[in-house]
Chain A
């Protein structure tokens, strides 16, 4: 059966990693390619690059980062951030990215999901959902623009919609859990996993080794994504995997 995946995420701005990283023996801790290669060696199953460049030049730099990364690492990687057209997808896939992540643009223009899936295959299209619990609804609401803007869209319905449109995977970030280090959002992840037939990557809230076991066994996530805890060496990917293996979770 398929192994559960551990996925580090790198925020990249103008070709440089922006969130602090704390690896020893890196020649250049800000170089996304060197960091990607390090995570590959440490046993990451996949990588996500989130491009937070605001300028055209910054985005052009990302293409170079993708090209260099594709030549350096031996695991699949996803590129997301600011992608709003199939031409953007094509450029990044041509440069060597394996998957494309879209978020705000998918909400604004859902046809982008179906168009991308038809042109490049569903396996290339990862739709990111940023969700926050809405107490009035008693369920979760989709947010866009990096979690700043509410949309009035129900997250569970949106998850079904994007699957129908051809998304190959859902990268699900809990705005409630993100940054807390209190653990992944089990209720949200479970609800989305049960709703769709495509893989769900849980994101937001990882703070201790047990959190990974929880999100796989209690919420049935297919993969778990984390940034800070890996960047700051609070734990290594190998430690997370050893713990999962001991708990009987299949990992690579």
Chain B
């Protein structure tokens, strides 16, 4: 079973449906016990970094997420959920993140369209990562105004080009993040999500009709 961590930030319906379509049982939950039991967890999120951290702290899900990451079971942050994995963000003030990966979240700045919104092409930095196994570089769907500067180059699995390199996929051991929305990124997005889910070892647990 895959836990989709519900801390009141954004619509989780599409993520949950995508997981089910790939043949896994998805549970949208804020229950620490259910999350701890899950074979894999997804930290989604749309909205502001500060609000998200506040919600996580208020519900105690910050500690639950950290403990989950520490357990060695696969954890995937999507969009804002990926940004939350890092040390801090400068989105409307300075906010501390979960600190699971070194790095910080900064605003795009320059004479170009912000948010970075639409289909951009991934450039794989570590094609041998299990997350990228069997895949070819292609377009995925981004919507964000802030982006991650990783503190450690080894955590960077893929980037895209938007007036400079933008962190698109990060990973370290069983902890992963995707800045784009795999559930909104067509076939390639579903394959990326599928590769993550396969790491849970629960492939085919649900009947796909």
Q: Contact residues of A with B, CB < 8 Å?
A: 1-3, 5, 40, 45, 67, 70-72, 74-76, 93-96, 98, 121-123, 168-169, 197-199, 222-223, 250, 252
A96 touches B11 (CB 8 A): yes
State whether A1 touches B120 (Cβ < 8 A): yes
Contacts of B206 in A (CB 8 A): none
Interface assignment of B27: CB less than 8 Å from any CB of chain A: no
A63 to chain B, nearest CB (A): 12
B138 touches A74 (CB 8 A): no
Mostly, the B contact residues are mixed
Bound together, the chains give a CA A180 to CA B41 distance in angstroms of 51
Given A74-B189, A74-B190, A123-B143, is A222 in contact with B118 using a C-beta cutoff of 8 Å? yes
Q: Mark B180-205, 1 if CB is under 8 A from A, else 0.
A: 01011111011000000000000000
Whether A2 pairs with B189 at a CB distance below 8 angstroms is no
**A-B contacts besides A71-B17, A250-B121, 9 pairs, CB < 8 Å:** A2-B118, A71-B14, A76-B184, A94-B11, A123-B115, A123-B143, A168-B117, A197-B113, A252-B139
Known: A70-B17, A98-B184. A3 touches B121 (CB 8 A): yes
Pair A45/B115 contact, Cβ less than 8 Å: no
Docked complex Cα distance between A72 and B138 (Å)? 21
Chain A contacts for B189, CB-based, 8 A = 74
B118 touches A5 (CB 8 A): yes
Residue contacts A-B, CB under 8 angstroms, 15 given: A2-B117, A2-B119, A3-B139, A45-B119, A67-B13, A70-B17, A74-B190, A75-B141, A76-B181, A76-B184, A95-B13, A122-B115, A123-B143, A199-B118, A252-B139
Complex contacts, B162 vs chain A, CB 8 Å: 1-2
Which chain A residues lie closer than 8 Å to B185 at the CB level?
Answer: 74-75
Measured CB to CB, the nearest residue on chain A to B138 is A252
Q: What chain A residues lie within 8 Å of B46 (beta carbons)?
A: 121
Across the two chains, which residue of chain B brings its CB closest to A197? B113
Interchain pairs with CB closer than 8 A, number: 72
The smallest C-beta distance from A252 to any residue of chain B, in angstroms, reads: 4
Measured in the bound complex, the distance between the Cα atoms of B119 and A5 in whole Å is 8
The residue on A at minimum CB distance from B46 is: A121
Contact indicator A70/B14 (Cβ below 8 Å): yes
Chain B 135-147, CB within 8 Å of chain A: the 1/0 string?
0001101010000
Q: How far is the CA of A84 from the CA of B3 in the complex (A)?
A: 36
> Which of B18, B118, B139, B161 is the most central at the interface, judged by chain A CB atoms within 10 Å of its CB?
B118
Q: Kindly state whether residue B47 has any CB partner on chain A within 8 Å.
A: yes
CA distance A70 to B181 in the complex (A): 13
CB contact under 8 A between A3 and B120, given known A40-B186, A75-B141, A252-B186: yes
Contacts of A72 in B (CB 8 A): 17
Q: Please pick, from A75, A197, A198, A223, the residue contacting B184 in the complex, using a CB distance under 8 A.
A: A75
Q: How far, in angstroms, from A40 to B14 measured CA to CA in the complex?
A: 15
Chain B positions within 8 Å of A123 at CB level: 115, 117, 143
User: Within residues 154 to 171 of chain B, which ones have a CB less than 8 A from any CB in chain A?
Assistant: 161-162
* A76 to B79 CA separation, bound complex (whole angstroms): 14
CB contacts (< 8 Å) of B116 on chain A: these are: 2
Inter-chain CA distance A121–B121, complex, in Å, is 24
Which residues on the A side are within 8 Å of B143 (C-beta)? 123
What CA separation (Å) do A195 and B29 show in the bound complex?
A: 45
Q: Considering residues B18, B116, B143, which has the most beta carbons from chain A within 10 angstroms of its beta carbon? A: B143
Once the chains are docked, how many angstroms separate the CA of A7 from the CA of B117?
Answer: 15
User: Quick check: B13 and A70 within 8 Å, CB to CB?
Assistant: yes
Complex Cα distance A74/B46, Å? 17
